[in-house]
Amino acid sequence: MPRIGEQPAGGFYPRYAVCRAVRRTAAVHWATMPSDLIVLSHYQAVPLLQARRDGRRVARTSLDLNRSACEVALDAEGIVLPGGERLAWSVVEAVAASQNGCYRIRDGSAEKIQTYSEVTGRHYSLYPTAGAPTLLVSGLPMHRIKDTDPHRDTLAKVKAASLARGRVLDTCTGLGYTAIQAARLADEVITIELDPATQEVARLNPWSQALFDDPKIRRIIGDSYDEVARFDDAAFSRIIHDPPTFALAGDLYSADFYAELHRVLRPGGRLFHYIGDLNSASGGRVWPGVAERLRRAGFQRVTPRPEAFGLVAQR
Ligand SMILES: C[S@@+](CC[C@H](N)C(=O)[O-])C[C@H]1O[C@@H](n2cnc3c(N)ncnc32)[C@H](O)[C@@H]1O
């Protein structure tokens, strides 16, 4: 009896087995980034099915969520991946039918990239876009995906932070996009993440690889509220503060925490604080209070940056 989604000798995949294969949760417990990481979403699977309908023998696709492109061979049974591994059409069809998941392809089956955290009681998954995926935390996207995408969202944040050389504090790692972009200019980036489960998901995200590979990035697992208190005065030239919504991380919007951010920022240094759409009803309710508490903590020139959905402030 083959494992779920495993290719049986005859190459025939019973429909029920494939459905179970894609519903199964990936047990994301890899200690290091897998070298054979292949991840697909419906953005790749749908065009592959179209290529089959068009009678093509070769198709251009991406096996890393559109970070790079490659060619795969198509035949009656499915697609042939680089390295010779085969993926049955029934698995590709099941991935194509799923609008909200990214799937790790391994041993002929597709495993949804998602996990549940005992630490926080939250559910995490990778949610596809046409480019970089976002992280869903209990159903909430951690990057902008409406009228933009997580990559462009990240570029807007780091531009507002006006990154430069020196040491950068990234208070909330998530998928590591802000840390990765900051490390392109900074000498060192220290990034803090509360929930180790998010990092298990990030390890399976092709767009997060540099988070684990770039020697300029130091990762800390802990609560930023406690971890920031351990840094020396004026230790950072820039801070990117990209917390979840107030409802999920109220402490990270508190006057006490802002006082700590002010303490660890060097004079003349800059803070970018992500909030959400400043012109929305909820953003409009939150940002004036944030600005007021930042000023009370000693920050100057607290300025709304609506294009980046946040505020910048100077020490
Ligand atoms: C909006 S996401 C950060 C996105 C990230 N900047 C990126 O580029 O992918 C917020 C992250 O903060 C984490 N988080 C929540 N509370 C935290 C805390 N107290 N300290 C550190 N991280 C926290 C969440 O688990 C989540 O991964």
Residue nearest to atom 17 of ligand 1 (CA): 194
pLDDT of residue 29: 34
Q: Kindly give the distance from the C-alpha atom of residue 24 to the centroid of ligand 1, in angstroms, as a whole number.
A: 26
Of the residues 172, 178, 220, 257, which should be mutated to test ligand 1's pocket, given the most ligand atoms within 8 Å of the CB?
172
Of the residues 143, 193, 212, 219, which should be mutated to test ligand 1's pocket, given the most ligand atoms within 8 Å of the CB?
193
Residue nearest to atom 4 of ligand 1 (CA): 174
Of the residues 117, 194, 203, which should be mutated to test ligand 1's pocket, given the most ligand atoms within 8 Å of the CB?
194
Residue 118 to residues 28, 31, 111, 134, 221: CA-CA distances in angstroms?
14, 18, 20, 21, 15
pLDDT of residue 107: 92
Residue 68 to residues 38, 39, 41, 143, 207: CA-CA distances in angstroms?
11, 12, 14, 21, 10
pLDDT of residue 65: 97
pLDDT of residue 274: 97
Ligand 1: residues with CB < 6 A are 137, 142, 154, 172, 174-178, 192-195, 198, 223-225, 242-244, 249, 252
**Among 141, 106, 83, 128, residue whose Cα is nearest residue 24:** 106
Residue nearest to atom 19 of ligand 1 (CA): 223
**Among 227, 297, 240, 228, residue whose Cα is nearest residue 269:** 240
pLDDT of residue 82: 85
Of the residues 144, 145, 173, which should be mutated to test ligand 1's pocket, given the most ligand atoms within 8 Å of the CB?
173
Count other C-beta atoms under 10 Å from residue 181's C-beta. Answer: 23
pLDDT of residue 109: 95
**Contacts with 54 (C-beta within 8 Å, 6 or more apart), sequence order:** none
Q: Kindly give the distance from the C-alpha atom of residue 164 to the centroid of ligand 1, in angstroms, as a whole number.
A: 22
Report all structural domains of the chain as residue ranges with CATH numbers, in order of start.
15-112 (no CATH), 143-314 (3.40.50.150)
Distance (Å, whole) CA 187 – CA 165: 6
pLDDT by residue for the chain (315 residues), tens digit each? 222 233 322 222 222 222 223 333 333 333 344 568 999 999 999 999 999 999 999 999 999 999 999 999 999 999 999 888 899 999 999 999 999 999 999 999 999 999 999 989 999 999 999 999 999 999 999 999 998 999 999 999 999 999 888 999 999 999 999 999 999 999 999 999 999 999 999 999 999 999 999 999 999 999 999 999 999 999 999 999 999 998 889 999 999 999 999 999 999 999 999 999 999 999 999 999 999 999 999 999 999 999 999 999 999
**Contacts with 39 (C-beta within 8 Å, 6 or more apart), sequence order:** 63, 64, 65, 102, 103, 104, 105, 113, 126, 204, 205, 206
pTM (two decimals): 0.89
Residue nearest to atom 26 of ligand 1 (CA): 174
pLDDT of residue 11: 27
